[in-house]
Every structure is written in structure tokens, then in C-alpha cells.
Amino acid sequence: MQMRSNQASIRRAVTACLMLLLALCVPFSAQASEHIRLGIQLEPPSLDPTRTAAVSASEITWCNLFEGLTFVNGEGQLRPRLAKSWTLSDDQLQYRFELRHDIRFHDGRTFNAEVAEFALQRLLDPGNANPQLEWYKQITGVKATDEYSLEITLKRPDAMLPFALSLPAAVMVHPDSAANNGEHPVGTGPYRFAGWEKGHSVTLLRNDDYWGKRPALHEARFLFMRTSVGTENMLAEGLVDGLLSVTRVGNRFLLRPDYRMSPRQLQSKMILAINNGRPPFDNLQVRRALSHAIDRQNLSQLYGPQFKPQLIGSHFPPSHPAYVDLVDRYPYDPERAKTLLREAGVEPGTRIALTIPPTDYGRYGGLMVAEDLERIGFRVELEQLDWSRWLSQVFKQKDYALTLIMHVEPMDLNIYARDNYYFNYDNTRFKAIWEQVLNAASETELHRLLGEAQRQLAEDAVNVFLFMRPEQNLMHRQLRGMWEKSPIPSFVLEDVYWAP
């Protein structure tokens, strides 16, 4: 017996030693292939996608750090996420979501229907300035009926609600951490926040307590590429593994064997946004002059000759069934533009500022737009802003004349129906159309009304609608598992891995 217990203790000691050896060995291996560094052009002012319109916040956090009740997966399909399932009442005015159990936030707090109720009430509170509030306007009530059941009541049927709840703006946040999410986001996702080096990068680390499948990558770093030359440098030296949007410099790097193009299914619409409330752009003729003045064909070559972006004539993607081709509504015609300006009483040599965000398209697209505008008689000064200043000065304070900008949110036609949106668009007629859109009884009617909405925007020449950005990201050839079919502006890490 003594012998046996001694043998057992020897065995235990040997096992302990082996474990220790293993523990000593592990940190030296399996490291390099668990990191990813991704270049992102715009540093968001906040990491809370429920509070900022900066898409880079959701690119970093959506389905990585934060999760919603639903999500659109890598195949582009709408699926439940923190909800297990949902049902719709017969009168189509009440959604009932059954939530998953045993979900915890990164700080250990529990997720339940009460938390979900709080998150949605917070979203609906206009004081919280949710960037996508328009999507949820038809919600009249949110109520936790028991610990894991949530009831959402609507003022009118809305088949798009489950999709709306998948958007980054509707992710679940906890009442105790929500206020601080901008600087130190706390979500339920497979990655947790590890640090934000302002001006440089945001780092996420794998959440080892995640309720779902364990992701392959241990660490992800999103590096902010504020300059074109910097992007080129970083790519050249292999300091980034991929870029989260197409850039002018990307093409050159396809010559290298370590990079490739990875498609995305975003609906990024490049527009020359016009402050419709600021003279002379409050004049429809001036806005139409701008639409005639911009050589979209030329501008669309911004990213290089091998990309053939689709031109647009309104704020709507050609891939949608309700798309109306309005590309030729304002053909490129500088003479016509000049005439329109003359008729509108705009003096040649009028100085205007073109505000550009610190992106590749901003800098080089801005130069092209400036030349087009000078061709019809404006004197253009480029105003380069960093991203947080662009967001505060242009997007919030609407203190600008023209700006070149990309709208990447899917199905965001409703921004034109919003009050106080930065276009300053006097939109009574559009609002009426949009009200009809929301009440459309059938798909055919919906499509017809969406067409009408597109036409209205084109007629009002609200902005100069330029082209759809080619959605090709430059990625390292060995990277796999990107959600290439997701329409949500995001970079979901959970399936990403390094191919051996």
C-alpha cells in the first residue's frame, strides 16, 4: 500500500514536471500565426458604434467586440446572435426575441433581457444621438417580459427590424459600462478591448471566456493609416497584413506575391456632399451645375485603371432591385454647368472650400474634383481635416460648403429623410415619399417608391452622386476566413486565420 502510494506520488510528480515543461514550451511556439495587423484609414473619434457615425468604429468592433441580437453572417444571411430566435405577432406589430442564456460581458456582467431592454431604450433616446436612429423610429416600446424574453412593439409593421437590429448601431451594451464604451468598449464578443494608442492603433485580444466558437487569432491590431505615403511605407515593409479599404497605392502591391485582393460586399457610395443650406448651394441650379461639372468617369479612375467602379446618379446601389439608373441625369458638361452658374448669378472666381477627410480618396479625389470645379469658374481651396475634426465640423456642426465623402452604410437612403442631417437638405417632398416607403404594402410598391425617392434626390441634385467604391481590400495572400459577403461595414475576425 505504501509502495503504491509512493508510486502514485512519483507518477504525480512526473506528471507535474511534464506539465511544467509543456507550460514552459508553449509560450515559445504558436505565436506568430495568431496575430493580425490591419490598416484602417480613419481613426474613429469613439469606439462606441451606437454613438458615432464613424464607420471605422463598427469596422473594428462589430461582431468582434460587440454583438447584436441578430447579425448578418459571412454569407450575407441574417441570423440570430445574442437572440436564439424571434417571432412576429399576427398583426406584425410585435416582435418577441428569445435570448441566449449564459452570455457574459467582458467585465463578467451578465447579459439578459433587462440589459437588452436598456441597450435598445438607450438607442431610441434621441439624446444619445445614435447615428442610425432612423432605422428604429417605428419602435414604440421595448420590454423585458422575463429574464430571457424581449418584446418590441412597433407603430407599423417593419419586416426590416431584425436586419436593423444586426447593424453596428444596435449592438448590446451593459448599463454599467455603456457610458465608457467610447474609450473602453465592453461587449460580449469573441474579442475584448486591449488598448487604444491614439493616433496609432486599437488592439483587441481574444476573449477566452467567449460563449461561442473560439477564434483562431489571438490578437488583432487595427492601425490607423492617416497618410498615403505612410500606407505605402507600411505595406512595403510588411508592417500591415491588410488594408480595410481600397487605396490608390494598393494596385502596385499586387505585383508582390504576398498580397492579393479580397472582395467585400459593401455598398459604399462616393458622393460630393453639398451643404444645401449654404449659399450659393441652396440654389438648385448651382447644385445641378456641380453635377454637370464633375467628370465622374475620370474621377472613378481614382483607384487605378484596373478598377471599373459603377457610376451612380443617386444615393442607391446598382445591385439593388429597386435601382433606377440616373447616371446620365447630369452628363459631364462643363459648359452647361457654367451656363447654369451664370444664370444663378454665381460670379466666376467665386472662392469655395472643398473639405476633405484624411483619406486617400479625399486627398487625390479632392484634387480631381477641385480641378473640375475650377474648370467651371470656381476658385477652390482644399481644406484638409483630420477625421475627428471632419466629424465635428462637417458632420455635426454642418460648417462646410462641399466635402468629398464615402457613405458605406447599407440601405441608407433614409439619411435624406432625416432632420438636421449634414446635407441641410430641405426635404419635405422626399420625406413624404419616404413616409410612403415605410408604409409600402407590397414589394413592387416599395421598389416603385424607392425609385421615386432616387429620382427625387437626383432632381434636387442634393449631392453629386459619383460612383460605387470598388470593394476590394488588399490582404495578405495567406489570410483566410474574411466575411466577404457581409454588407455590414466591418472586419469580422472570428473566422480569420493564417493558412499554413
Q: Rule CB under 8 A: is residue 255 a binding residue for another protein? A: no
Piece in contact with another protein (CB under 8 A), picked from 150-158, 289-297, 359-367, 452-460: 359-367
Nearest to 59 by CA among 261, 204, 254: 204
Task: For residue 336, give Cα distances in angstroms to 111, 275, 341, 376.
Answer: 60, 22, 9, 9
CB of 384 to another protein, least distance (A): 6
Contacts for 301 with CB less than 8 Å, ≥ 6 apart: 307
Q: Which of 272, 278, 240 is nearest to 259 (CA)?
A: 240
Name the amino acid, one letter, at 274: I
**Least gap, CB of 14 to another protein (angstroms):** 7
The one among 11, 12, 14, 432 contacting another protein by CB under 8 A: 14
CA atoms within 13 A on the CB side of 418: 19
Which CB atom, from 315 or from 476, has the smaller least distance to another protein?
Answer: 476
Residue 374 found at the interface with another protein (CB under 8 A) = yes
CA 282/CA 273 separation, integer angstroms: 13
Q: Which is nearer to another protein, 284 or 367 (CB)?
A: 367
Told to check if 28 binds another protein by CB under 8 A, we report yes
**Is the CB of residue 428 less than 8 Å from the CB of residue 279?**
no
Q: Which stretch binds another protein (CB under 8 A): 10-18, 293-301, 445-453, 488-496?
A: 10-18
Cβ atoms of residues 244 and 38 within 8 Å: yes
What is the Cα–Cα distance from 475 to 331, expressed in whole angstroms? 36
- 3 in contact with another protein (CB under 8 A): yes
Least separation, in Å, of the C-beta of 87 and another protein? 51
CB of 237 to another protein, least distance (A): 6
Kindly identify the residues of this chain, within the stretch 180-199, that bind another protein according to CB under 8 A. Answer: 197, 199
Is 388 among the residues that bind another protein (CB under 8 A)?
Answer: no
**Rounded to whole angstroms, how far apart are CA atoms 262 and 306?**
15
Stretch that binds another protein, among 67-75, 163-171, 372-380, 407-415 (CB under 8 A): 372-380
Minimum Å distance from CB 72 to another protein? 34
**Binding-site member from 137, 363, 448, 455 for another protein (CB under 8 A):** 363
CA of 399: how far to CAs of 49, 128, 224, in Å? 23, 22, 25
Residue 495: is it exposed, middle or buried by C-beta count within 10 angstroms (0-12/13-18/19+)?
middle
Q: How far apart are CA 98 and CA 84, in angstroms?
A: 5
Integer-rounded Cα Rg, in Å, for the chain is: 25
All cell numbers assigned to 121: 431604450
Cβ proximity to another protein: between 226 and 448 the closer is 226
Does residue number 24 form part of the binding site for another protein (CB under 8 A)? yes
Q: Are 99 and 84 in contact (CB under 8 A)?
A: yes
Per CB under 8 A, does 384 bind another protein? yes
Q: What x-and-dash track marks residues 218-237 binding another protein by CB under 8 A?
A: --------xxxxx--x---x
Stretch that binds another protein, among 3-11, 71-79, 332-340, 484-492 (CB under 8 A): 3-11
| 10 belongs to the binding site for another protein (CB under 8 A) | yes
Instruction: Tell whether residue 367 is a contact of another protein (CB under 8 A).
Output: yes
Does the footprint of another protein cover residue 366 (CB under 8 A)? yes
Question: From start to end of 396-471, where are the E strands?
Answer: 402-407, 464-468
Position among 11, 12, 19, 20 found at the interface with another protein (CB under 8 A): 20
Min. distance of Cβ 258 from another protein in angstroms?
18
**194: CB partners within 8 A, 6+ apart:** 203, 204, 205, 219
Number of residues in contact with another protein under rule CB under 8 A: 36
Q: Residue 333, SS3?
A: coil
Which one among 11, 12, 15, 17 touches another protein, defined by CB under 8 A? 17
Work out whether 21 is an interface residue with another protein (CB under 8 A).
yes
Residues lying near another protein in the complex (CB under 8 A) are found at: 2-3, 6, 9-10, 13-14, 17, 20-21, 24-25, 27-28, 197, 199-200, 226-230, 233, 237, 358, 363-364, 366-367, 370-371, 374, 379-380, 382, 384
